[in-house]
Structure 1
């Protein structure tokens, strides 16, 4: 029997991108004379895609979140984020886990609400792009997570067989539940809800644990 595919969320799961997103967000606010926001405030806006992020930034700055600035800031922030990549860092032991899973014969995929261009840019920046056989991003389909179609598409691209989804947030938990996919919850990411209140099959706090978790996964055939 072939090894299951392992599909990862990106922001808050494999990488801590909040410092980088915080930096470009404050640059966008600053050039428009809007008040800057602290890191923890911006961290709470991450995970539902750029349009949601920009709505939150504008609302927190006292602007109309769906007003004329929205499209302008989205376009400018995306362009900036493709090139200003400092502050994106892999979580501890995540790289080791990716290599271990790949060497064990698992196909690896990404399913992220981050748009494709900045996703590919950060994967190249962190030198992990070759590890992934499938990348489904926030603008790859007509819908975003928590709609399950992104995860379904990722599973199809990886062979349409067994797959485990690995994520960190309420959005990821809802996506996995709606898709009917096994879910491993990384507890050190961007979630706001208590672990026990989130849908998951297993939770882990250190990526050194993940290859062992996957190897012992019990499948109901």
Structure 2
């Protein structure tokens, strides 16, 4: 059976409304105009610090560093508008029933990750969880993804994600990448390296079978 590791934001959950709310609460504290949801979505993927850097650049703020703790404060409780993509829970249950090991590897920091997993009733869903501050490195460095696979034991490795960062991470880790196309990517599907792609979570069990595991 396979070791299957998933990204979180834009892959399993649509959390951009909560992320935008945390960003806009931060910007309001320093007298700046809010981001649109589309802007916030385009900034997601490389971790909280990079998100704040992009947010600050969008508002011509010269020093993003003081905004990081403000943003994290709001981000840690930003769960109420997050939605699970349709079919995710049923798909994960089917994969688990087939004997696959399931892990999570996200650039979302630990506290916001734990908050949203608890909110969704997923605190015990994954066999391992690597977050954006679990290691000194973050995706697209392959170290967190490889650590997640190592924690799951042995077996074929498959990474499921939605973004440019996820595609690069999988390529650098030399593992098959399955792309969820409705997520937060900024590059056309045909320009992202991937082994397989899907747009409906009911498809993922058959996609895994098509990879020979």
Q: Same fold (TM over 0.5)?
A: yes
Does structure 1 residue 174 correspond to structure 2 residue 180? Answer: no
CA distance in 2, matches of 1:186, 1:125: 23
Pairwise CA RMSD of aligned residues? 1.1
Structure 2 counterpart SS, 1:166 = strand
Q: Output aligned runs, 1:83-98, within 5 Å.
A: 83-98=77-92
CA distances 1:51-102 after superposition (whole Å, capped 9, x unpaired): 00000111111101xx2xx333211221222223111111111111111111
1:109 is the counterpart of 2:107 = no
Q: How many residues align?
A: 213
Which among 195, 202, 206 is matched to residue 189 of structure 2?
A: 195
Confirm or deny: 8 A CA contact 2:162 2:185 kept in the other structure: yes
The separation in 2 between residues aligned to 1:198 and 1:158, in whole angstroms, is: 26
Identify the match of residue 48 of structure 1 among 39, 46, 49. 46
Distance 2:67 2:154 in 1: 37
CA positional deviation for 1:170: 0.6
TM score, norm. by length of structure 1? 0.93
**1:115-126 alignment to 2 at 5 Å?**
115-126=109-120
Cα distance in 2 between the residues matched to 1:106 and 1:92: 21
Q: What residue in structure 2 maps to residue 216 of structure 1?
A: 210
